[in-house]
Amino acid sequence: MSTLNASFVQNMSIVHPEYFFIIGLSGIPYSSYYYMFLFITYFIAVIMNSIVLLIIAFERSLHSPKYIGVFNLALADFGETNALIPNMMKTFFSDSQYISYNACLANMFFVNFFITVQSVTLVVLAIDRFIAICLPLRYHALLNNTVMSLVFLVVWAFNTSVVALSTSLMTRLSICKSNVVQSYYCDYGPVLRLACNDNSINIFIANLIAALFLVAPLCIIVLSYMGIFFALSKITTWEARLKALKTCVSHLLLVGIYFLPVICLFIASAITSLTPNARVISISLSFTLPPMLNPIIYVLNTAEIRVLIRKMLKNRIMPIRMKFVKK
């Protein structure tokens, strides 16, 4: 009975602030121009990802395992961009930088969820390239539309569970040090540091998520490309090697854009203590640039998508030209 009473008292002592104050960039002149830059990246990301989603959805020739992966990546990019930037624009261009406690947790969940989906999608696309190059005769037996759809169904369900667990565990923390979040959104780490009760479980979950969705994906991608390069070394002609490697260029660029900024940020944080403004700028760039660049890279480096876009533009422009000719 005393244990129950102690637990009850502990729960009663948990303090949740009504609002958090998102500090963003502070003390930097003309910071509004940076926010405008982020809004431009948002505008481009939404348009380009929407184009990729629509093309893959309505073009039957692109209904293949690889493009199911690309569709999933574009969907995750679209979701992350909409979870992150509009809320930030609303916060910093309105009269208040306050966000309610529940809205903060919702923002934290959606941003972290879509970021983890991007990471796992890059792993699935790496495995797709590995099978296509190393096991070409078994590609259609190992990977088909049904298998790829089931893989992403599991990915979305698993990521939802893990990120929901990490977010729900935030409610057990008593936020009494401050309600000022040293970031430009409800960032998990800065909010975690505001707790004044035991947060060891939250730190463990945060490290687990980093291992699951950052370290493990990068290791799997590196191993898959080691296998790809080993398989390419067995090909006798350079032309055939380059032709096979060309199918990996888009994916390698996406991997570099996603992981390199995060790795550089970890190294910089280990070497020196970053100022709040430096951290905000580095994290915001590493989170907002990939969703904008990913669809552009796929459009520029994928012949099928380029041909379809030319065809669509031609079908739209030709009737307009014919009207002018008739006049």
**255-288 pLDDT, tens digit each:** 999 998 888 887 877 787 778 788 888 888 888 8
- pTM here? 0.87
Residue 7 has pLDDT above 70, yes or no: no
Count of the separate structural domains present in the chain: 1
Residue 168 has pLDDT above 90, yes or no: yes
Residue 20 has pLDDT above 50, yes or no: yes
Place of tokens 């190992």: 142
What pLDDT was estimated at residue 261?
Answer: 86
Please report which confidence band the pLDDT of residue 8 belongs to, taking 50, 70 and 90 as the band edges: very low
Q: Which residues, including other chains, have CB under 8 Å from residue 253's CB and lie 6 or more apart?
A: 297, 301
Is the sign of the CA dihedral 60, 61, 65, 66 positive or negative?
A: negative
Rounded average pLDDT over 53-78: 90
Contacts 24+ apart (CB under 8 A), 208-215: 208/162, 209/112, 209/116, 209/162, 209/163, 209/166, 212/116, 212/162, 213/115, 213/116, 213/119, 213/120, 213/159, 214/119, 214/259, 214/262
Helix axis angle for 249-271 and 276-301, nearest 10°, is 170
Residue 12 is assigned to a structural domain of this protein: no
Rounded to the nearest integer, the mean pLDDT of the chain is: 84
User: Beta-strand (E) ranges in the chain?
Assistant: 19-22, 98-100, 180-181
Please report which confidence band the pLDDT of residue 26 belongs to, taking 50, 70 and 90 as the band edges: confident
Residue 301 has pLDDT above 80, yes or no: no
Worst-scoring range by mean pLDDT, 14-18, 98-102, 130-134?
A: 14-18
Residue 214 is assigned to a structural domain of this protein: yes
Residue 3 is assigned to a structural domain of this protein: no
Domain containing 172 equals: 17-326
Rounded average pLDDT over 90-94: 71
Please report which confidence band the pLDDT of residue 244 belongs to, taking 50, 70 and 90 as the band edges: confident
Worst-scoring range by mean pLDDT, 18-22, 126-130, 272-276, 304-308?
A: 304-308
Residue 175 is assigned to a structural domain of this protein: yes
What pLDDT was estimated at residue 234?
Answer: 83
Share of the chain above pLDDT 70, in %: 89
What pLDDT was estimated at residue 162?
Answer: 95
The tokens of 172 are what?
């057990």
Residue 118 is assigned to a structural domain of this protein: yes
Residue 2 is assigned to a structural domain of this protein: no
CATH of the domain at 275: 1.20.1070.10
Rounded average pLDDT over 59-80: 90
What pLDDT was estimated at residue 297?
Answer: 85
Residue 155 is assigned to a structural domain of this protein: yes
Rounded average pLDDT over 86-90: 78
In contact, 248 and 134? CB cutoff 8 Å: no
Residue 47 is assigned to a structural domain of this protein: yes
Residue 91 has pLDDT above 80, yes or no: no
What pLDDT was estimated at residue 5?
Answer: 44
